[in-house]
Amino acid sequence: MKDWDKKSHKQKHLFKAKDYCVNCQQRKSCGLLEKEKRYCCACYQGILEELEQDNLLISSAQQVLNDYRQGIISCQCLKTEKPRVKYIASDGSGWISCEGVGCKRIISSAGHHRVIKNRNDPRFWGLESEFKIMCLECIGREFYEEMEQWQRKKFREYVRRGYV
C-alpha cells in the first residue's frame, strides 16, 4: 500500500513548485531582483513599491527598483511565461484558435493548466514571432527554412504523426 501511495504522490507533482513564483504561480523566477527566486520580477516589484510607499525601503533596494523601472535591468521572467488557452470546457480541457495569418485552426491545450503544447509554441522551435500560438501548418509554412536540422527532423516527425 505504501509503494502505491509514493508512486501516486510522485505523479501528482511532476513540476517543481519551487521553480514558480510564490505569489502568482504563473512565471518562473529569473532571480534578477530576488536571489532566492521565490518571486517573479513583476510580483517582487509590487512588494518593493509597497515598501517604498511605507518608507521602509533601504537605499540599495531603492536603487535596484529604480534601475528596474528605467529598464537598466531587464528580467527574463516575462519571457518564460507560457502561452495559455482562452477558452475552457467543463472537463478542464481548453482550446484557442491559431494566430497565424489567415488560419482559424483550433488548437487544444496540453492539460488542465491551460498551457499550450510545445509544438504549437514558436519559441519551442527557436523562432522569434509576433504570434504566441500557431498550428504546425503555419509554423512549417512560415519558418521551416529557418529551422535547424534537429528542429526540421522533429517537425517532420510531428507531421508524420498527424499533428498538423
- DSSP H helices in 14-115: 41-53, 59-70
Output the pLDDT for position 163. 83
Of 36, 62, 80, which residue sits at a domain end?
80
Please tell me whether residues 66 and 122 are part of one structural domain. Answer: no
Please tell me whether residues 8 and 37 are part of one structural domain. Answer: yes
Q: Is 97 helix (H, G, I), strand (E, B) or coil?
A: strand
Of 18, 49, 80, which residue sits at a domain end?
80
Q: Is 53 helix (H, G, I), strand (E, B) or coil?
A: helix
The whole domain housing 105 covers: 87-161
Overall number of domains in the chain: 2
In sequence order, the β-bridge partners of residue 108 are: 95
Q: Cell 509554423 sits at which residue? A: 139
Please give the model's pTM, rounded to 2 decimal places: 0.53
142: left (phi over 0), alpha (psi -120 to 50) or beta: alpha
Of 46, 80, 114, which residue sits at a domain end?
80
In whole angstroms, what is the distance from residue 106 CA to residue 134 CA? 10
Please tell me whether residues 16 and 73 are part of one structural domain. Answer: yes
pLDDT tens figures, 3-30: 555 555 544 444 455 567 777 766 777 7
